[in-house]
Amino acid sequence: MLKSLFVSNYALIDQVEIDFENGFSVITGETGAGKSIILGALSLVLGQRSDVSVLKDKDKKSVVEAIFNITGYGFKALFEQEDVDYAEETTIRREVLATGKSRAFINDTPVNLGFLKDISLKLIDIHSQHQNLLLGESGFQLNVIDTVANNTQLKDRYAIDYKTYNALVKKKNQLADQNAQLKLEADYMQFQFDELERFKLVEGEQEELEQEREMLAHAEEIKGHLFESAKILSGDELPLLANLKDVTRHIEKIAAFIPQGEEWAKRAESAYIDLDELAKELEDRMERIEHDPERLEFVGFRLDQLYALQQKHRVDSLQALIAIRDSLAAQLTKISSFDEDLQQLNKDIDAAHKTLEVSGKALTDSRKKVIPAIEKQIVAQLLELGMPNARLVVECSQLKEFTAHGRDDVDFQFSANKKGELAAIPKVASGGEMSRVMLCIKALLSESKGLPTIIFDEIDTGVSGEVADKMGSIMQQIAQNIQVISITHLPQIAVKGKHHYKVYKTDSSTDTQTGIQKLDYDARITEIAKMLSGSNLTEAALVNAKELLGESM
C-alpha cells in the first residue's frame, strides 16, 4: 500500500508531504485546486516520462518520493534479480533536474524507467476516465477473465509452449528460404566444387612444390657444391676426415699426461663422427640429384594451376582454396539433405502443436469456467448502481490460429436497456454507464488480484444522487481487500471514505501554491457541506453533511 508521498518543486507545489492510510480514502478539492497535480507527481514515481516543464522553480530540481509497504507481495526475487536492495517499506524516488533529465531510485539504488514501470504495475492501478475506453479492447477483457480465473500458471505454461512452437515454425521458414536461395545457386556451386575437387588439393602441397621447383631449377649448381663438399671431407687429396682421425689419435696418446687430454680426445672423436655422417649424407644427396627438365616443367605447371585458382577465387593460399571447396561441399550436402531435415522439423512442429493445443485448451477451459460468475456479479452490481435492465454477455469464441494470449477471442457484449441490442460496451454505453461498468470490473478484480492499491480518478463523472452513493459503497467493499484512494467531486462518495484529504490552492502576492491536508471530523463536515451547497455554506448543508457522514461511518 501507499504509505506516504513527498513532493517538492513540482508544478504549483513548493513542498508537500502527506501520509496515507489503509482502507478507503477520498481526495476532494475545488476544480483547479490541483488534484491532477498530485496525481501527476505520483505518476512520476511510477515511471511516467517527465520534462523540465514540471519544475516550479526552473533553477532547482523536483523531487517526488513515495513510500510503499510491499510486505507479502512477492517482490523480493524481482528486487534481487535487478540487484536492488529489498525492504518491506520500499522508497521510490524520482528526481527531475533543471536540465530536463531525470533519475530514479528504489531504496537509494539507481534504477532505469523500465524496471520502475514493472514495479509500478504491481503496486498501483491508477484508473482515470480515459481508461474506460479499455472496456472495448479484447486484451483488457481477456485480462479481466484471466485475473478472476487466477490463470497465471496456465498462461506461463502456454507462453512457453507458444514460444517453442513459433521458434520451430520460424526455423522451418528460415530453412526453406535458405534452401530456395541455395537451389538458385546450386548449379554454379556444383561447377565450382567440381573444378576444385578435380584438382585434388592437398594441404601443404604448394609449399612442397615451390621448394622442389627451386631445387630442380638449380640441380647442377647444387650437385657441384655437394661434390666439392664431399671431396673436401673424404677426397684423395688432403681429406679432412683422415686428418681429423690423425688428430684424434695424437691426442689420445697424450691424454694420460694432461688434465684436458681425455676431454679433447672425446671432442675430436665426436667431431670426426659428425663430419663422417655429414660426408655420407652429402654423397647420398648428390647421387640422387638429377637435372630433370620434365619434372621441372610439371611442377611449374602444377603451381601455375594453383596460382590461377587462387586468383580466380580471390584468395592468397592453398588453405583458403581448400576451405572454399569444403564450404561448397557442405552447402551442396545441405541442399541434398533438405527433405530429410524438413521432414524432421515437421515432426517436431506437429509435436509442439499438439502440446500447444493441450495448454491452450486448459487455458480456454479455465476462462470459460469463470465467465458465468463474471456476468452474474457485474450485472448484480449494476443493478445496485441504478441499472435494473443491464445485461452483460461474455462471448468466447475460438480463433483459427494460436496467438500469444491463447486461442480465445473474447467480447464483452452489453446493453443498459430492457430491449436493447447487445453490442460492444463503448458503442452502446454512455460515459456514466461506462464508469459504472468499469467500477464493477475493478471490484471484481480486487477480489482476485494481488495489487496493493487502486486509485480512482473521478470515476464518478456522469453520475449523481443514489447511484453515486452506491458507487461509494462498492469502493468501500473494494477497500476491504486493498487500499483504495478516490479523487472525487461528489459528496455521496466523499462521506464513504474512512480518511479524507483535501487539495487546496493558496494565492500570495508572488505566486500560487497547491497543498494537501488530511481533514479531521469537523473539517470533513465543512468540506462535505461545501460540496453540497457550494461556496455559500448554509446551516442546512452542515446538518446534511453531518447526517451523511454519520450514516457512512
DSSP per-residue codes, 357-387: HHHHHHHHHHHHHHHHHHHHHHHHHHHHTT-
pLDDT tens figures, 214-249: 878 777 777 788 787 877 777 766 678 778 888 888
For 331, residues 6+ apart whose C-beta sits below 8 A from its C-beta are: 182, 189
Do 184 and 69 belong together in one domain? no
pLDDT above 90 for 103? yes
* Percent of residues, the chain, with pLDDT higher than 90: 38
- The CA distance from 170 to 94, in Å, is 42
Output the 3-class SS for 53-65.
HHECCCCCCEEEE
Do 197 and 305 belong together in one domain? yes
Would you tell me how many other CB atoms lie within 10 Å of the CB of residue 2? 23
Q: Is residue 135 part of a domain?
A: no
Do 110 and 182 belong together in one domain? no
- Phi, psi at residue 346, to the nearest 5°? -60, -35
Do 195 and 315 belong together in one domain? yes
Last residue of a domain, one of 311, 338, 365: 338
Do 101 and 199 belong together in one domain? no
Domain containing 496 — which CATH number?
3.40.50.300
Do 201 and 82 belong together in one domain? no
Last residue of a domain, one of 338, 356, 376: 338
Half-sphere exposure of 426 (CA within 13 A, CB side): 12
pLDDT tens figures, 350-370: 999 999 999 999 999 999 999
pLDDT above 90 for 289? no
pLDDT score recorded for residue 451? 73
- The CA distance from 487 to 483, in Å, is 13
Among 334, 340, 303, residue whose Cα is nearest residue 193: 334
Which residues sit opposite 18 in a β-bridge? 5
Whether the CA torsion 526, 531, 536, 539 is positive or negative: it is negative
pLDDT score recorded for residue 93? 95
pLDDT score recorded for residue 553? 59
333-370 burial code (b ≥16 CB/10 A, e <16):
eebeebeeeeeebeebbeebbebbeebbebbbebbeeb
Do 310 and 221 belong together in one domain? yes
Half-sphere exposure of 252 (CA within 13 A, CB side): 9
pLDDT tens figures, 484-525: 999 999 999 999 999 999 999 998 888 889 999 999 999 999
Domain that holds residue 271: 178-338
pLDDT score recorded for residue 413? 94
Do 115 and 230 belong together in one domain? no
Instruction: Judge if pTM exceeds 0.85.
Output: no
pLDDT tens figures, 388-400: 999 999 999 999 9
Domains of the chain: total: 2
Do 123 and 226 belong together in one domain? no
Q: Is residue 546 part of a domain?
A: no
Do 258 and 196 belong together in one domain? yes
Q: Is residue 488 part of a domain?
A: yes
pLDDT tens figures, 136-169: 888 889 999 999 999 989 999 999 999 999 999 9
Q: Is residue 313 part of a domain?
A: yes
pLDDT band at 336; cut points 50, 70, 90: low
For 163, residues 6+ apart whose C-beta sits below 8 A from its C-beta are: none
Q: Which long-range contacts (CB under 8 A, 24 or more apart) does 97-100 make?
A: 97/61, 98/52, 98/55, 98/58, 98/59, 98/60, 98/61, 99/52, 100/51, 100/52
- The CA distance from 524 to 102, in Å, is 37
Q: Is residue 395 part of a domain?
A: no
In angstroms, how far is the first alpha carbon of the chain from the final one?
22
Q: Is residue 93 part of a domain?
A: yes
Q: What is the mean pLDDT of residues 520-538?
A: 88
Q: Is residue 345 part of a domain?
A: no
Do 210 and 315 belong together in one domain? yes
pLDDT tens figures, 168-216: 999 888 887 877 776 667 777 777 888 888 888 888 888 888 887 887 8
Q: Is residue 378 part of a domain?
A: no
In one-letter notation, the amino acid at residue 477 is: Q
Q: Is 48 helix (H, G, I), strand (E, B) or coil?
A: coil
pLDDT above 90 for 538? no
Would you tell me how many other CB atoms lie within 10 Å of the CB of residue 399? 11
- Share the mean pLDDT of the chain: 87
- Phi, psi at residue 414, to the nearest 5°? -140, 150
Q: What is the mean pLDDT of residues 296-314?
A: 87
Do 56 and 114 belong together in one domain? yes
